[in-house]
Amino acid sequence: MMALDSALDWQQIMAAVERAVMPHIGAGKVADYIPALACIDPRKFGMAVALRDGTMRCLGDADERFSVQSISKVFTLALTLQRVGEALWDAVGREPSGSSFNSIVQLEAEKGIPRNPLINAGAIATTDRLVHSYGGGQAGAWEAMDDLLDTARRLAGDQNIDIDCDVAESESQSGSRNRALAHFMASFGNMKNPVEDSLSAYFCHCSIAISCRQLARAALFLAFDGFDPVTGEEVLSKERCQRILAIMMMSGHYDNSGEFAYRIGLPGKSGVGGGILVVAPGHGTVAVWSPGLNQAGTSMVGSIALEELVRQTGWSVFG
């Protein structure tokens, strides 16, 4: 039977996670298609668990900031839904893609409407709508970037979260594929702003430098029906929160989403910076970071850590 959270022995749980990951530290391949990410030490490992009362349980490099990359797509989605509402679903679908993060193949058959907001094409279309909601163009892009950053800082209760300009520049310079996705969608009329304006906001969101501790804390509202359980702030409605979690469950890890659901059983989102965020509804959030990735772009050691954590806690959306 699952233990009540208050009965969990966190010292023992974190020690078990540490034992599980130690033999694998350094495994996987660091993302190198964005040159600024290629030089990160693959032996880094950090984990932070944020609980209902705001207390944190941390391990390893939990306070070192890393590149959030696609985990930012969850926050962009939440903010965009708040600003444009259901109209977002004219621009992007809600189906798993079964394709890699930057795939273009489905876009032609599906007339420029990406499968979901957590693949690159879908996140670019979502960011485009967010930029448009601020009046569009480069000014709208700046506002969208600022608002997302301010939101992350406010929710984390920590101003020390920033855009890493070197990573953003590196992403832009190596961003041919993302440009191709954006122009392809534009050719179907599914971009409301000049492509470069929306992409600049997208690259900046992906380049936010954040620690596991900050990320787990900032996302805590997702585990408590859209309410920050510590401050009481309603960040999202319960219904919207549940729907974001459904999308994370089905599509949070590209063509690795089924495997992740099977092994971890919690809604999550991975990023090629090696971070993974998972949400345990009613319990808390977990952010883990280890830069070595599997073929689908999910942190290898991070997944092992999460697998052990859910084994220890019994946390699962499946009962």
Q: What pairing do the DSSP bridges indicate for beta strands 56-60 and 46-51?
A: antiparallel
Q: Is 19 or 29 the residue whose CB approaches ligand GLU more closely?
A: 29
CB proximity list for 231: less than 8 A, separation 6 or greater? none
Q: Residue 278 belongs to what H/E stretch?
A: strand 275-280
Closest CA to 39 of 49, 27, 30, 29: 30
Q: Is 79 or 121 the residue whose CB approaches ligand GLU more closely?
A: 121
Q: Candidates 128, 164, 171, 197: give the one binding ligand GLU (CB under 6 A).
A: 171
Q: What are phi and psi of 146, to 5 degrees?
A: -65, -45
> Do 274 and 291 meet the contact criterion of CB atoms below 8 Å apart?
yes
Task: Report the nearest approach of ligand GLU to the CB of residue 189 (Å).
Answer: 22
The first and second tokens of residue 148, run together, are 């997302």
> Do 162 and 226 meet the contact criterion of CB atoms below 8 Å apart?
no
Task: Report the nearest approach of ligand GLU to the CB of residue 72 (Å).
Answer: 8
How many residues bind ligand GLU (CB under 6 A)? The answer is 11
Q: Candidates 93, 117, 281, 297: give the one binding ligand GLU (CB under 6 A).
A: 297
Q: Candidates 69, 190, 211, 285: give the one binding ligand GLU (CB under 6 A).
A: 69
Q: Does 30 bind ligand GLU (CB under 6 A)?
A: no
Q: Candidates 151, 172, 178, 190: give the one binding ligand GLU (CB under 6 A).
A: 178
Closest CA to 292 of 45, 67, 59, 60: 45
Q: Is 299 or 312 the residue whose CB approaches ligand GLU more closely?
A: 299
Q: Is 297 or 302 the residue whose CB approaches ligand GLU more closely?
A: 297
The Cα 217–Cα 26 span in angstroms is: 26
Q: Is 61 or 171 the residue whose CB approaches ligand GLU more closely?
A: 171
Interacting residues with ligand GLU between 221 and 280 (CB under 6 A): 271-272
Q: What are phi and psi of 152, to 5 degrees?
A: -60, -45
Q: Is 50 or 293 the residue whose CB approaches ligand GLU more closely?
A: 293
Binding residues (CB under 6 A) for ligand GLU: these are 69-70, 101-102, 120, 171, 178, 206, 271-272, 297
